[in-house]
Structure 1
Amino acid sequence: MNILETIAANKAREIAFRKKIISRALLENTQLFKRPTFSLADSLVSSEFGIIAEHKRRSPSRPIINQSLPVADVVQGYANAGVCGISVLTDTTYFGGCIDDILIARSAVATPLLRKEFILDEYQVVEAKSTGADAILLLACMLKPYEIKNLSVLAMSFGMEILLEVRDLEEFERSICPEISLVGVNNRNLKDFKTDVRTSLEMAEHIPSEFVKVSESGINDANIVHELRQAGYQGFLIGEHFMKNENPGLAARAFINELMAFA
């Protein structure tokens, strides 16, 4: 069993457990489920820098990034820095997050929120909407095309947007569907966890302009963002580079100031 199969098996057990605790009907009856969503795509398209800042406590490649800061403090710092969106990792086993992190973030900011999670089941989409997320991440490497289609249709019916994450052209071509509005290219190789932004640069010409292109992982320099923008990317998901600082919000603000020098 490879790492993705292990993650999927663990996540399936977690989903089954959560379904027993809180029913889908109950989630659909929450106040946040009924709220209008913010558009992450519009926020990125109208921006000069396109930063999606991420709340991330740890990762499989780095056991400790920043576990001490309250979620509310981090996301408020990001919002004050002027980011276009905030990604919140809700996986517990590998990233140390939880679904309540979305709830806390939603109560703290009016910025578009992306639930970053290993989404395999419709229940997780309903859960995301009920806790205040505006968009969800779908991983092409973990889902079949019909699953991506069905999950995307459901999310779109709730007014949510979908960020489809791909690693190469094959994943993009077999997974894309009309409901997708954002395509993220993961610069991290999940086999050895090394990052290379050339992955995004090589994929740029293959993703039609109708999709908002987002580059993910390994982005730690304003010059890299400038190069990716020249290649057609409008969004840049940055987590560890900000979260490793004592004040992630100030780190994001400094990074954005560097980017503005290119404007």
Structure 2
Amino acid sequence: MTILDKIVAHKKIEVAARKEIVSLADLQARPLFDKEPVSAKAWIASPNKSGIIAEFKRQSPSKGLINGTAKVSDVAEGYFKAGVSAMSVLTDQEFFGGTVDDLLAARSVSPVPIIRKDFIVDEYQIVEAKSIGADFILLIASCLTPEESKKYAEVARNLGMQILLEVHNQEELEAHVCDKMDLIGVNNRNLKTFEVSIENSKILAELIPNEFVKVSESGISNIENIKELKKYGYKGFLIGENFMKTNNPSKAAKEFISQL
């Protein structure tokens, strides 16, 4: 069993337990459920913005503890002032140390598009994402059947949210892409081995239809990476550990973006 298999198995149990505590009606009654989502596609593709999707991530299965002291509201406000195009907030607690409260805290201080980064395995999580102020969601092809990814994308669209579909190879891309998606993210990290290479983004670039905003995820640590990936049509660049591993993620983001 891979780490991804373990995460998905645990996530299904976790979601089933949450359903018993908070109903869909309860989620839909929350104030943020009626908030109009911000267009991540517009912000990330805008030539006047950085294209950086900065992440708040405390830990990961591959790296262990990344940052145990950063306060999410401080980081979110700092990322906004630094000029990010969007923010990614990990809400998985068991493996990444995040919670839905982290996204709520980020939402309270930042107007940028926020993605709920989690392992979506149930429609409930999409409704929950809307109820905590997320503007777009992540669908990971490796975790879903093509039918599930398309069904979940439609659920998100019906709630006014956009969708970032994450793929790792040509097979996933061809099987899961559909007109309900908004952004296509190529994960440079192999979720089975956790090895990273931006060559994966280059390989898949020409296979992504032009109507989708291209996003490169993981392993982006310097300006040269971004300059190179822009040649392949990428508009978005998800950066997590590079900022979070520092004592001041906001400052690190500001210095990075100032060089673009």
Report the TM range for the smaller structure's normalisation: over 0.9
Q: How far off its partner does 1:49 sit?
A: 2.8
Distance in 2 (CA, whole Å) between partners of 1:191 and 1:119 is: 18
**In structure 2, what is the equivalent of residue 142 of structure 1?**
143
Distance in 2 (CA, whole Å) between partners of 1:41 and 1:67 is: 31
Q: Which amino acid aligns with 2:13?
A: R
- Per-residue CA deviations over 1:108-151 (Å, capped at 9, x if unaligned) read 11110000000000000000000000000000001011111111
The two structures have a TM-score, normalised by structure 2, of 0.98
**In structure 1, what is the equivalent of residue 249 of structure 2?**
248
**In structure 2, what is the equivalent of residue 49 of structure 1?**
50
**In structure 1, what is the equivalent of residue 37 of structure 2?**
37
**In structure 1, what is the equivalent of residue 233 of structure 2?**
232
Q: How far off its partner does 1:29 sit?
A: 1.2
Distance in 1 (CA, whole Å) between partners of 2:50 and 2:24 is: 37
- Per-residue CA deviations over 1:69-95 (Å, capped at 9, x if unaligned) read 111001111001010000000001111
3-state SS of paired residue (2:106):
helix
Q: How far off its partner does 1:161 sit?
A: 0.4
Distance in 2 (CA, whole Å) between partners of 1:158 and 1:243 is: 31
Which runs of 5 or more residues in structure 2 are unaligned? none
Please tell me whether residue 3 in structure 1 is matched to residue 3 in structure 2: yes
**In structure 2, what is the equivalent of residue 123 of structure 1?**
124
Distance in 1 (CA, whole Å) between partners of 2:32 and 2:50 is: 29
Which runs of 5 or more residues in structure 1 are unaligned? none
Distance in 1 (CA, whole Å) between partners of 2:147 and 2:193 is: 28
Distance in 2 (CA, whole Å) between partners of 1:245 and 1:7 is: 26
**In structure 1, what is the equivalent of residue 85 of structure 2?**
84
**In structure 2, what is the equivalent of residue 153 of structure 1?**
154
**In structure 1, what is the equivalent of residue 16 of structure 2?**
16
Aligned pairs, how many? 259
Q: Which amino acid aligns with 1:254?
A: E
Distance in 2 (CA, whole Å) between partners of 1:40 and 1:246 is: 28
Distance in 1 (CA, whole Å) between partners of 2:139 and 2:60 is: 18
Distance in 1 (CA, whole Å) between partners of 2:6 and 2:180 is: 28
**In structure 1, what is the equivalent of residue 26 of structure 2?**
26
Distance in 2 (CA, whole Å) between partners of 1:69 and 1:197 is: 27
**In structure 1, what is the equivalent of residue 166 of structure 2?**
165
Q: How far off its partner does 1:2 sit?
A: 2.9
Distance in 2 (CA, whole Å) between partners of 1:229 and 1:152 is: 26
Q: How far off its partner does 1:247 sit?
A: 1.1
- Per-residue CA deviations over 1:140-194 (Å, capped at 9, x if unaligned) read 0010111111111110011100000000110000001110010000000122211
Q: Which amino acid aligns with 1:94?
A: F
- Per-residue CA deviations over 1:181-209 (Å, capped at 9, x if unaligned) read 10000000122211100000111111111
Q: How far off its partner does 1:8 sit?
A: 1.4
**In structure 2, what is the equivalent of residue 258 of structure 1?**
259
Q: Which amino acid aligns with 2:241?
A: E
**In structure 2, what is the equivalent of residue 202 of structure 1?**
203
Q: Which amino acid aligns with 1:170?
A: E
Please tell me whether residue 93 in structure 1 is matched to residue 94 in structure 2: yes
Q: Which amino acid aligns with 1:71?
A: V
Distance in 2 (CA, whole Å) between partners of 1:214 and 1:3 is: 24
Distance in 2 (CA, whole Å) between partners of 1:102 and 1:212 is: 23
User: Which 4+ runs in 1 deviate beyond 6 A?
Assistant: none
Q: Which amino acid aligns with 1:222?
A: I
